[in-house]
């Protein structure tokens, strides 16, 4: 460390208490100090939420986070478990992007993969084979960093955290969207998408290592007012949607509200809102666009993170949105 850097560090140490009183939380003071001395990056546990194709933005977010943090643990729901699981087993963000670009959703959702048990439209077997190919069949315990996948059990009617066993099967269980895919059967469990109860699994990270908690939300952060029905010749026609898109679009806003309250209740150190307004839940062919959006939103969030009262302002925004929803502010 240079003499100039040494005196800068001493200056920061003397001012740390003042900074905390001036609106900077202890976690942000620590982050800025470690950034200044450059001896090491702060460690962080990352919470990756669900959102179907919207979650592809998380790949770009991870690329930016790597620049400022040492990611030491990941917990993911749905698409967040897929991206998080692959990252945990050794994929770089660029490798994740290449993998996402090559995904053929038509093949995965082909009529030949219909679920004959009538538990879902598709049986999910081809999805599992793809996950096994991507992961090389390793177990969660063999990942380079700790990883947790969140799923929901239809038998016990409760959330199940997958912390051991096949990584591919954990990803399959966590991303098993009800109605679209048959539940993943594992022992006494009938596991479906973890987003049923925890679309953004804050509060479930348990003993995942990390000095900071970073939440990545890709669900809509908005409240739209109810409107009166509009009819007449000037009314435009509704766009055509595939049955899968109909279902996901029907539940995604409710999941967004759950994610919003998860942030309000658990106060992560950093929140990255990477929802892409122009994206769709089945826009898997737009992986590069989502990736670029994730990079931009992560950089934006990090810039805000270093400002005084960051978390206080963020939580105020979320609380105002939640208040509008429950106060019945309408027409």
Residue 327: what pLDDT? 59
Three-state secondary structure readout of the chain: CCHHHHHHHHHHHHHHHHHHHCCCCHHHHHHHHHHHHCCCCCEEEEEECCCHHHHHHHHHHHHHHHHHCEEEEEEEECHHHHHHHHHHCCCCHHHHHHHHHHCCHHHHCCHHHECCCCCEEECCHHHHHHHHHHHCCCEHHHCCCCEEEEEEECCCCEEEEECCCEHHHHHHHHCCCCEEECCEEECCEEEEEHHHCCCCCCCCCCCCCCCEEEEEECCCCCCCCCCCCCCCCCCCCCCCCCHHHHHHHHHHHHHHHHHHHHHHHHCCCEEEECCCCCCCCCCHHHHHHHHHHHHHHHHHHHHHHCCCCHHHHHHHHHHHHHHHHHCCCCC
pTM here is: 0.86
User: Residue 25: pLDDT band by 50, 70, 90 thresholds?
Assistant: low
pLDDT at residue number 326: 60
Average pLDDT over residues 229-233: 73
By mean pLDDT, which of 25-29, 140-144, 255-259 is the weakest? Answer: 25-29
For range 245-250, the mean pLDDT: 81
Could you read off the pLDDT of 45-86 as tens digits, one per residue? 999 999 999 999 999 999 999 999 999 999 999 999 999 999
Lowest-pLDDT range of 50-54, 233-237, 291-295? 233-237
């Amino acid at each position: 460390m240079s003499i100039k850097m040494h005196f800068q560090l001493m200056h920061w140490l003397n001012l740390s208490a003042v900074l905390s009183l001036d609106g900077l939380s202890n976690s942000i003071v620590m982050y800025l100090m470690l950034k200044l001395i450059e001896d090491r990056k702060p460690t962080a546990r990352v919470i990756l939420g669900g959102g179907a194709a919207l979650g592809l933005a998380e790949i770009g977010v991870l690329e930016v986070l790597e620049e400022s943090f040492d990611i030491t643990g990941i917990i993911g729901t749905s698409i967040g478990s897929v991206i998080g699981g692959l990252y945990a087993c050794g994929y770089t963000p660029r490798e994740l992007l290449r993998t996402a670009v090559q995904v053929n959703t038509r093949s995965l959702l082909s009529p030949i993969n219909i679920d004959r048990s009538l538990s879902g439209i598709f049986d999910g077997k081809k999805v599992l084979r793809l996950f096994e190919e991507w992961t090389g069949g390793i177990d969660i315990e063999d990942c380079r960093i700790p990883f947790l996948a969140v799923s929901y059990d239809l038998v016990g009617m409760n959330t199940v955290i997958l912390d051991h066993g096949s990584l591919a099967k954990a990803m399959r269980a966590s991303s098993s969207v009800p109605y679209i895919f048959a539940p993943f059967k594992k022992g006494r469990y009938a596991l479906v998408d973890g987003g049923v109860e925890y679309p953004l699994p804050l509060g479930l990270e348990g003993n995942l290592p990390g000095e900071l908690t970073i939440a990545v939300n890709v669900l809509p952060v908005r409240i739209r007012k109810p409107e009166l029905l509009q009819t007449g010749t000037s009314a435009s026609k509704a766009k055509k949607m595939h049955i899968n898109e109909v279902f996901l679009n029907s539940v995604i806003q409710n999941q967004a509200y759950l994610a919003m309250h998860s942030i309000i209740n658990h106060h992560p150190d950093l929140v990255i809102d990477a929802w892409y307004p122009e994206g769709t839940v089945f826009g898997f062919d737009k992986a590069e666009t989502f990736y670029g959006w994730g990079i931009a939103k992560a950089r934006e969030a990090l810039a805000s993170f270093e400002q005084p009262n960051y978390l206080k302002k963020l939580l105020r925004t979320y609380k105002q949105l939640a208040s509008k929803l429950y106060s019945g502010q309408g027409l």
